[in-house]
Structure 1
Amino acid sequence: MRLDFILPLMPTLVEQPPEGDDWIHEVKFDGYRSQLVIDEDGTRIFTRNGHDWTAKYRDLVKEAASLGAESAIVDGEIIVLNDKGLSDFGELRKAITSRQHDLYFVAFDLLHLNGHDLRNMALEERREILASMIEPGRRIQFSEALPGDAKAIFQLLDQNGLEGMVSKRRDSKYRSGPSTSWLKAKCYAVDEYELLGVEREAGKPAFALMADRATGCYVGSAFINSSRAIRERLWKRVQEHAGPAPKGMKRPATQWVTPGLIGRVKHLRGEEDLRHASLQDFREEESRSPSG
């Protein structure tokens, strides 16, 4: 029996994790959401959008034999760990092309097993079966539930630099697409970016347009919700250092600046571009002559 890729269940983003005993909580890993499919034709690994990336994950395909299943569909995340033992998205891209042996598949749900569709079973039961299939010490690992109070878990994950947590209703069935049965709460990080300009339109909030300091590439905008004093100081600097628009960027309501203004931005951790970002403060790069 050949199994088809199943569109994954997508958690809803929330500010705070849910309280109460109806939920289990897991680490939100910083990697590629993936689906492991085992059937009579062998093992395949798909991306969250259903692209077949089996050829990119040769070592993990071999590891799938350790699950001991005739057929299965496993939902999980492919990650690589940094020297602190945390999942590292930047390192993941390098590992896929050159360090296959550093890849891990963290399994957190079981949708199908040996001819049986398990999606109507309660999450807790599906996870119990999945945990029993996974051998310790392998590179296919089980995403353990975190014990304790949701707020305390979230605080601990934040302090340790993790991306966030996913909370799942214990009795929930697996339904493809966006769902409130799974909720993700993400931690915030504060980093410095190059300020490209400030976008201001009448009756709308002002946004700082930011670029990666190493590459100069645009990474997104940050809401300017700083104090009035900081906003006024920023606008004064922007006017003093007005410059041309970066190549390829057309945003008519933006006052562009010459390089040298560095913004401190609070943003969701573990995203490629800035999300839910706000400008906390800014400074002038030391190489630029001070003007106050």
Structure 2
Amino acid sequence: MRKPAGRVRLEFIEPLMPTLVDKPPDGDGWLHEVKFDGYRSQIVRDAEGTRIFTRRGLDWTSKFRDLAKAAAELDVESAIIDGEIIVLNDAGLSDFKALRKAITSRQHDLYFVAFDLLHLNGHDLRDMTLEDRREILAEMIPEGGRIQFSQALPGDAKAIFHLVDQAGLEGMVSKRRDSKYRSGNSTAWLKAKTFTIDEYELLGVEREAGKPAFALMAERGTGRYVGSAFITLNREMRERLWQRVQEQQGTAPKGMKRPATQWVKPGLIGRVKHLRGEDDLRHASLQDFREE
């Protein structure tokens, strides 16, 4: 454990970033937590006060003033805490859209969910095991406040992931119990996201010989392009889609230049399976389509 000399000003530490995987890892060497849909953030507390940084190291203390005040009340001399700032909706789930509004108008709805401790009272804890760091962190956070501890989920990974999916949560993060904290991308932490199905407006179909076909999708109501979805339809539905595309040929939306795309007129709605908790489509596939 490295110990800095004197009462130095603590600096932001680049966070450890989990690797996205299709399914959570098995085995007793991992602990599993809920993946919250919020802003990855870092609380830095030292003799000069309390600051809150974004994932990229921007000082957003003024935007999270109530959380900074709560962090200043923790019974520590100095600390660096890794976590997520969230807002809960009526169903008790973290809600990213509500979070954006709360930052400007509803500070009292903000929570900081702490899941790792990098520094405490003059000691750098990053060479300790994750389990030891979290044990110390859990003891220093009082219950019922704006700063909460991210509890590990009991059970095996497969069962936990099923429950997370059924609950409508974004996903889960699995972490090696004996891992040290190292900034940057890491396979010591793995995130597995759940899928959801939503309807989007079909803008066109991108087809090139020898390559998979993709449906280009837009947000309904706004027309904002959100990404492409792999076309996984059966043969009959695929042929029906090609026919609709030919019958309803349209023009490219302003600013979009994709030579291999056949654009369609408004009116076709696609059901798309995609990763939950993303602003744009990721790992998406077209499941069905209909005329509006």
| Partner residue in 1 for 2:203 | 196
Instruction: Report Cα offsets for 1:140-171 as digits up to 9, x if no partner.
Output: 00000000111101000100100000000000
Distance in 1 between residues matched to 2:172 and 2:239, nearest whole Å: 37
Alignment-mate amino acid for residue 176 of structure 2: R
Map of 1:55-94 to 2, 5 A cutoff?
55-94=62-101
- 1:95 paired residue number: 102
What does residue 4 of structure 2 align with?
Answer: none
Separation in 1, partners of 2:242, 2:79: 58
Structure 1 consecutive aligned stretches of length 4 or more whose deviation exceeds 6 Å: none
- Output the aligned Cα RMSD: 0.7
State the distance in 2 between where 1:18 and 1:284 align: 41
Q: Deviations over 1:64-103 (max 9, x none)?
A: 0232121111000000000000000111101111100000
Matched, 1:138 2:137: no
Corresponding residue to 1:44 among 30, 40, 51 = 51
Deviation at 1:214? 2.5
2:278 is aligned to 271
- Larger mean Cα displacement after TM superposition, 44-53 or 101-110: 44-53
Counterpart selection for 1:157 from 164, 174, 194 = 164
Q: What's the % identity of the aligned pairs? A: 80
TM-score scaled by structure 2? 0.96
CA distance in 2 between counterparts of 1:239 and 1:40 reads 68
CA contact (8 A) 2:231 2:285 kept: yes
Question: Does 2:53 match 1:53?
Answer: no
| Deviations 1:150-198 (CA, angstroms, capped at 9, x unpaired) | 1101000100100000000000000001111101010000000000000
Unaligned runs of 5+ in 1: 286-292
1:289 corresponds in structure 2 to: none
- Number of aligned residues: 285
SS at match of 1:56: coil
C-alpha separation in 2, matches of 1:116 and 1:131: 17
Is the Cα contact below 8 Å between 1:186 and 1:269 reproduced in 2?
A: yes
Cα shift readout 1:115-149 (whole Å, capped 9, x = no counterpart): 10000000000000000010000010000000011
Aligned to 1:67, the other structure's residue is in SS state coil
Hey, what does 1:120 align to over in structure 2? 127
Could you say what secondary structure the match of 1:167 adopts? strand
Q: Does structure 1 residue 20 correspond to structure 2 residue 27?
A: yes
The code of the aligned residue for 2:183 comes to S
Write out aligned runs for 1:198-237 (5 A): 198-237=205-244
CA distance in 2, matches of 1:96, 1:28: 20
The gaps in structure 2 that reach 5 residues or longer are: 1-7
What are the Cα deviations for residues 206-247 of structure 1, in whole angstroms up to 9, with x where unaligned?
Answer: 110001103110001001111111111111101111111111
Q: Deviations over 1:259-291 (max 9, x none)?
A: 110000000000010000000010000xxxxxx
The residue matched to 2:216 in structure 1 has which SS?
A: strand
For 1:228, the aligned partner's letter is: R
The residue type paired with residue 173 of structure 2 is V
Task: Provide the TM-score with structure 1 as the length reference.
Answer: 0.96
Aligned to 1:36, the other structure's residue is in SS state strand
For 1:54, what is the secondary structure of its paired residue? coil
Is 1:66–1:135's contact at 8 Å kept on the other side of the alignment? Answer: no
